[in-house]
Chain A
Amino acid sequence: MDFALTEEQQLVQQSARQFADGKVAPIAAAIDREHRYPAELVAEMAQMGFLGMCVPEKWGGAEMDVMSYAIAMEEVSRACASTGVIMSVNNSLVCDPLMRFATDAQKKQWLTPLAKGELLGCFALSEPGTGSDAAAQTCTAVRDGDDWIINGTKNWITNGPQADVCILICMNDRSMGSRGIVSFIVDMHRDGVRSGKPEDKLGIRASGTSSLMFEDYRAKDSERLGEVGGGFKVAMSTLDGGRIGIASQAIGIARAAFEAAVKYSQERKAFGAPISDLQAIQHKIADMATEIDAARLLTWRAASLKQRKLPFGKESAMAKLYASEMSARVVHQALQVHGGYGYVTEFAVERHYRDQRITEIYEGTSEIQRLVIARSVLKEFAAKV
């Protein structure tokens, strides 16, 4: 057993931290306040290879391991969770399914520019009336000769307002249920698709979130990703990996809040001494530190399983569930440590508190994670009975 980081992983951690501290953190409050998409940070991440971290060099990526990706996601999200999710979507929800399902021709056309950051991607599964019950797709793809005609609306699409490319999941044959689903690589600059008005969100306000409207969008069959009927598998296997990214994001947010609480508690005096001398504060700090470590270990375990191409669905669900809910507890307590100062935007914990909330919802709610884990646990014991 070995919990130490490899040299490469340490280097990634250092460069990600340097970028996050030097470039991201200084503007994080402003881009949150202004709802401004940080194009300049995305461009820098492209330079660093952070937009296609696990994509082979052959396809324009940085060819790093999944742990390195989790590490970098944590560091970037610690500075700015909005920037973190932009990165996570391009890596986990766009490059990853292309790596696993795209043909070489598709990889050449789409994966390489996405991995290099020349194009930005988004992933479209949810709909106005379809969330956790992801198989209930109403957006349709209908055959038209060699082409497909796509109609419907997708919701909550991170990077939707900015994306050049979309991995779309939609229904081909409703009678087949989850086996009637198909996936496409959508060119967002083509006619027939447009993004809606950016959502006005509680947190991660510098990342763009919008709906996507498809009106007779014409896709070539060569733009289909995976098999006809295989779209649900594309979506679910993609989300398994995405959960590692979101877990890392949640840990990054928690760490930011935790570190702010540690610092504040050493500066703030009450009863003639720093509040860090008070056991009531110390034990909060201890709980936060312990749970952050626990979440990170769960996340890195899932990452190392994915890296080895071993089953990791249950483990990534555990990582995402635990990390996101841990993060909720940590931002809550960090704000508490700050007292009134934690409630005003001048202090970063206020933003961390808002940013954290979505991590329990997107890429599978906590309720869905628990369902996935419970089924897996029961299956293990059913096999033993």
Chain B
Amino acid sequence: MDLGLSDEERQIRDLAREFAKRELLPKAVERDRDSIFPADEYRAMGRLGLLGVNVPAAYGGSEAGVVALTLALQETAEACAATAVGMSVTHMVAETIARFGSPELANRYVPRLVSGELVAGAFCLSEPASGSDAASLRTTARREGDRYVLDGTKMWITSGAYAGALIVMARTSAEGPKHRGISAFVVEPSFKGFSVGKPEDKMGLRGSNTVPVILEGCEVPAENLLGDEGMGFRIAMAALDGGRITIGAMANGIARAALGASARYALERKQFDRPIGDFAAIGDKLADMATGLDAAELLVWRAATLKQAAAGRFSREAAMAKVYATEHAKRVCDEAIQIHGGYGYVREYLVERYLRDVRVTTIFEGTTEVQKTVIAREVYARSGG
């Protein structure tokens, strides 16, 4: 086992840390309070190479690898999780188009996603009635000459109102098994029949934009089909395997912020004439927060190295990383509030936002329950049952 970072990984991490501290942290409270989408920040990140950390250099990416991406995301999330989530999705979209799209399609979209010109990418899989059971999606795409016509509604679309390119999963065939009839498309907001609904008023990640995407006879050029017809479900699952790693990294960033705030508070806050960190009741919490967080980082990094090696599937490890990191981060943020007492419950102290921000991480890109089902399936498959 070697946990050392390459020079490039260290540079990316430091770059993200520096940017987060200088550009994201000062307005993180305002971004949350007023639900301000960080469009300018994404453009700046694009210029710095922080939107294509794991994207091939041929498409303008940094090609620094999956571990580097998890490090950049964790640093970003530690300062502002709302900014991190859009960054994560943009990477997922850019990587997916680069991997599954034709060179023409990839050349058309990936460099502009990576540079920040398109501001953000979005990934449209969920629907009002289709969440964990993704294969049951109802949005349709029918071929009409040199285009596809898409009809349906997508839900919970991160960066949906700002994204310059969206990957949309839609049904091209009602025949055969449900998941085989799904195809993936790259959609631009300027396409006829595309619109977005009212932004969701969310508990946390309020600086990120979440909208329904409405496709009413939306006309998509045939060349914007990603991969082949019927490959959509596979593409979506492959993208989510990667996404689970980055959401794990994001959760770890929020948890690091909460742990840091808690440790500093435990050193400063005095009761019974001692810093409260001297009491085992508080120290034990900090120990459990820190221990689980280290474990969560290791699980995320392990999954990242497996994805990087591209030697085979990593669904089990990615699911483990996501379920463990997000569930632990949720506990960490909750304990952070407990350590802060009443101060933790008011907006003036940041831990209140951390708890709101972290809460969705056990839900999006595959709920905890879905991750556990994936893990169990892999365990039983390996034990020959």
Contact = CB atoms under 8 A, between A and B. Distances in A.
Contacts of A44: none
B2 A382 contact: no
Nearest to A382: B267
A378 interface: yes
Contact of B379 (A3, A262, A371): A262
Given A282-B376, A286-B376, A287-B372, A367 B280 contact: yes
A377 interface: yes
Contact of B260 (A67, A370, A381): A381
Given A1-B67, A286-B375, A378-B263, A322 B292 contact: yes
A132 B378 CA distance: 41
Contact of B286 (A300, A378, A382): A378
Contacts of A286: 323, 371-376, 379
B287 A370 contact: yes
Contacts of B295: 294-295, 297-298, 318, 322
B286 A377 contact: yes
A380 B267 CA distance: 11
B290 interface: yes
B144 interface: no
A294 B321 CA distance: 9
Nearest to B299: A294
A2 B9 CA distance: 13
Interface string A352-385: 0000000000000001011111110110111001
Interface string A305-326: 0000000000100100110000
Nearest to B309: A4
Contact of A289 (B284, B292, B305, B375): B375
A385 B267 contact: yes
A322 B377 CA distance: 25
B310 interface: no
B63 to A, nearest CB: 16
A304 interface: yes
A282 B1 contact: no
Place the interface of chain A in its size category.
35 or more
A369 B266 CA distance: 19
Nearest to B380: A276
A263 B375 contact: no
Interface residues of B, number: 51
Contacts of A297: 295, 298-299, 302
Contact of A321 (B259, B282, B291, B301): B291
Interface in B248-270: 259-260, 263-264, 266-267
B312 interface: no
B385 A373 contact: no
B78 to A, nearest CB: 13
B283 interface: yes
Chain A, interface SS category: helix
B271 to A, nearest CB: 15
Given A266-B383, A301-B3, A282 B372 contact: yes
B283 A378 contact: yes
B197 to A, nearest CB: 33
Best-buried of A1, A266, A286, A304 by chain B (most CB within 10 Å): A1
B263 A381 contact: yes
Nearest to A372: B287
B324 interface: yes
B105 to A, nearest CB: 32
Contact of B320 (A293, A318, A367, A375): A293
A313 to B, nearest CB: 13
A147 B283 CA distance: 44
Contacts of A295: 295
B385 A377 contact: no
A294 B385 CA distance: 24
Given A266-B380, A290-B323, A369-B287, A378 B266 contact: yes
Contact of A67 (B1, B4, B67): B1
Contacts of A370: 280, 283-284, 287-288
Contacts of A279: 373
B294 to A, nearest CB: 6
A357 to B, nearest CB: 20
Contacts of B366: none
B201 interface: no
B376 A285 contact: yes
Contacts of A315: 294
Interface in A1-50: 1-3
Nearest to A6: B1
Nearest to B317: A293
A318 B290 contact: yes
B5 interface: yes
Interface string B294-331: 11101101101110000000001100100110000000
A371 B283 contact: yes
A49 to B, nearest CB: 21
A38 to B, nearest CB: 28
A177 interface: no
A262 B290 contact: no
B277 interface: yes
B369 interface: yes
A269 interface: no
Best-buried of B290, B302, B377, B379 by chain A (most CB within 10 Å): B379
Contact of B372 (A2, A283, A377, A382): A283
A3 B320 contact: no
Contacts of B299: 290, 293-294, 297
Contacts of B280: 367, 370-371, 374
Contacts of B305: 1-3
Given A3-B301, A318-B295, A367-B280, 12 more contacts: A263-B383, A286-B375, A289-B375, A289-B376, A294-B320, A297-B298, A298-B294, A318-B291, A321-B287, A367-B284, A373-B287, A377-B290
> Can you list the 9 inter-chain pairs with the closest CB atoms, starting with the nearest?
A374-B283, A282-B376, A286-B372, A373-B287, A297-B298, A286-B375, A266-B385, A370-B287, A381-B263
Interface of A: 1-3, 67, 259, 262-263, 266, 274, 276, 279, 282-283, 285-287, 289-291, 293-295, 297-298, 300-301, 303-304, 315, 318, 321-322, 367, 369-375, 377-378, 380-382, 385
25 contacts: A1-B9, A1-B67, A1-B301, A2-B2, A2-B305, A3-B302, A263-B383, A276-B385, A282-B376, A287-B372, A294-B298, A294-B320, A315-B294, A321-B291, A322-B292, A322-B295, A367-B280, A370-B280, A370-B283, A370-B287, A374-B283, A377-B259, A378-B283, A378-B286, A382-B267
